A and B are shown apart, each in its own frame.
Chain A
């Protein structure tokens, strides 16, 4: 019996009173309850003012880490299917904190930063988590949306493919210079994404979109440096008028 007593005590103490709940970790585990701001920057490596703004923007990204997502573009503004036309910008540099109403004067980076900062502090009505799965030339982006209040109206979810660490030294003439957040295309070829159904508070819904590296990202460099940005838009007249929330996931 003297051996039985410590055995019971040891067995009981073997269970730690602080535990991690990990028995059923789901495939998507990055739905954020924060409202994250989306900033798009339209520029070019050959644009002097754009490059001058770059340090301030990078600092802002770094300070806010995951809460700001930047997309830099140099696209065909005359192509109505292109994100640059869709976002209604007319010159570079230009910025937006997430809607298609682009600020396009040389000083508006500060306005965009200010708007993004204000957005970060507001409450989220809906959240999104995502996971990209690479298979050949196709990246399947699985998403789960979670409603923090009743969601009704016209909302879309879109996914953008961007690339980090892109070497731009050949263009800029500065050895080793790189750019992050380089826009490569939209999943399902839909800049404004696809409609989502009404949701009740506490409800979750799953969505899947596909980004094809072969046909859309014709100038991507490294699939493993791609990130995918899911954005939930409030829609009017087939355009996003407000970013409700967004999130980002890297290729794994």
Chain B
């Protein structure tokens, strides 16, 4: 899974770079991304794969991880240059890790988790040319900390829950601005979430 995702992301970056081409006019009127620009966004996602995890319980039975609620997140970015922005994102999701006893399917134990992550992010924006100033493709790396709160369930739950810890994510994204200061974003990748989408505004 990790290798597939990394290959997907790198392929996407290379494809967009190749498509944009080195000879494009980089003169900017009001490009999708520019130095000094503030961007704020908020939306939902598809649950992360990093945590919570259930590897420690596999000797006890079948482990399933279900994200019971779509992650939601908010983010803010500032354009340091015409190509690079930095910012932060807060992400929240709920998930259930369930261990079904291989000797008795009625014996189910596990944890309900609430996860909140705070991540710093740095993005590299790709200029597509003067005809596509309403599109802002980018690659983002995020690094931060996730706080996991766990509630155990099951009559025979002797397991230790996952702990809070380091969080990271790498996403290939796209801001689309049909209006001057308002648009939508799409992100896909690996990490805290595997996909995000939502609304974005810029100043």
When each residue 195-238 of chain A gets 1 if its CB lies under 8 Å from chain B and 0 otherwise, what string results?
Answer: 00000001010000000000000000000000000000000000
Chain B residues with Cβ below 8 Å from A15 are 46, 49, 194-195
CB contacts under 8 Å to A, within B45-62, are 46-47, 49, 53-55, 57-62
Whether A11 touches B188, Cβ cut-off 8 Å, given contacts A5-B176, A21-B64, A32-B60, is: yes
Chain A residues with Cβ below 8 Å from B135 are 1
A19 at the interface (CB under 8 A from B): yes
Q: Does the CB pair A21–B55 fall under 8 Å?
A: yes
Cα separation A12 to B132 with both chains bound (whole Å): 24
Chain B residues with Cβ below 8 Å from A30 are 61, 102-103
Cα separation A90 to B188 with both chains bound (whole Å): 72
A12 interface neighbour in B46, B60, B102, B103, Cβ under 8 Å:
B46
Q: Does the CB pair A8–B188 fall under 8 Å?
A: yes
Q: Does the CB pair B58–A65 fall under 8 Å?
A: no
Distance of A106 from chain B, by nearest CB (Å): 32
Q: Does the CB pair B59–A66 fall under 8 Å?
A: no
CB contacts under 8 Å to B, within A164-209, are 202, 204
By DSSP majority rule, is chain A's interface helix, strand, loop, or mixed? mixed
The total of chain B residues at the interface (CB under 8 A) is 46
B59 interface neighbour in A36, A202, A204, Cβ under 8 Å:
A204
Among residues of A, the one whose C-beta sits closest to the C-beta of B61 is: A29
Distance of B199 from chain A, by nearest CB (Å): 16
A33 at the interface (CB under 8 A from B): yes
Distance of B184 from chain A, by nearest CB (Å): 10
Q: In which size bucket is the chain A interface? A: 35 or more
CB contacts under 8 Å to B, within A1-55, are 1, 4-5, 8-9, 11-13, 15, 17-26, 28-34, 36
Stretch of B21-29, B73-81, B142-150, B155-163 that contacts chain A = B155-163
Chain B residues with Cβ below 8 Å from A65 are 104
Whether A29 touches B66, Cβ cut-off 8 Å, given contacts A1-B132, A23-B55, is: no
Q: Does the CB pair B188–A33 fall under 8 Å?
A: no
If A4-B15, A19-B65, A202-B160 are given as contacts, then 9 extra A-B residue pairs at C-beta distance below 8 Å, sorted by A number, are A5-B176, A11-B8, A18-B65, A21-B65, A28-B59, A29-B102, A33-B158, A146-B158, A148-B158
Chain B residues with Cβ below 8 Å from A23 are 55
Residue from A8, A34, A248 with most neighbouring chain B CB atoms (10 Å): A8
B107 at the interface (CB under 8 A from A): yes
Q: Does the CB pair A8–B186 fall under 8 Å?
A: yes
Cα separation A146 to B99 with both chains bound (whole Å): 15
Chain B residues with Cβ below 8 Å from A148 are 158
A119 at the interface (CB under 8 A from B): no
Distance of A8 from chain B, by nearest CB (Å): 5
Q: Does the CB pair B64–A31 fall under 8 Å?
A: no
A67 at the interface (CB under 8 A from B): yes
B49 interface neighbour in A19, A28, A31, Cβ under 8 Å:
A19
Q: List 20 A-B contacts (CB under 8 A).
A: A1-B132, A8-B172, A8-B174, A8-B186, A11-B8, A13-B46, A19-B49, A19-B64, A24-B55, A31-B60, A33-B154, A33-B157, A34-B107, A65-B104, A66-B103, A66-B104, A67-B104, A124-B156, A146-B60, A146-B158
